[in-house]
Amino acid sequence: MLKIYFDWNCITHSKNIYPYILNIAEECGDRFIFPFSNAHIRDLMVSHNKENKYFDSDLDLLERICTKHYLLFEDGQMMPKFATPKEVIDVSGDELEMIQKNRVHFS
């Protein structure tokens, strides 16, 4: 099956600016796979704090669009997995959050 990869901006903007993206994913989900990746999870985890009222809705939206189609990028390899975004966060969320918030900046 063909895969269509939406970057994080497409997914978050499907709530308001580009609602047709969500329509495409829902109407074509039986013909195409709309995967999420560890990059999506890292982008989501950047905003993970008690003050962010959108975290849960963004997580639900990612799961609604991508269902259980997870593309894990690791060691230069792309590995398709079968897991929801919530399952991925449950397994590696703290690690991803720590990596994202403690990025090393080179000057």
Would residue 77 count as lying in a domain? yes
104 CB-contact burial (10 Å; exposed 0-12 / middle 13-18 / buried 19+): exposed
5 CB-contact burial (10 Å; exposed 0-12 / middle 13-18 / buried 19+): middle
Would residue 16 count as lying in a domain? yes
As a whole number, the mean pLDDT across the chain is 85
Name the nearest CA neighbour of 38 among 13, 62, 60, 18. 62
CA–CA distance, 64 with 61 (Å, rounded to integer): 5
Please check the confidence at residue 45 and state whether its pLDDT lies above 60: yes
Would residue 15 count as lying in a domain? yes
Would residue 107 count as lying in a domain? no
Would residue 106 count as lying in a domain? no
Task: Write the pLDDT tens digit of every residue in 26-36.
Answer: 999 999 999 99
Domain range spanning residue 49? 2-100
Would residue 76 count as lying in a domain? yes
Would residue 105 count as lying in a domain? no
Could you tell me the pTM of the whole model?
0.79
Task: Write the pLDDT tens digit of every residue in 2-11.
Answer: 999 999 999 9
Q: Are 33 and 4 in contact, with CB atoms under 8 Å apart?
A: yes
Q: Are 90 and 48 in contact, with CB atoms under 8 Å apart?
A: no
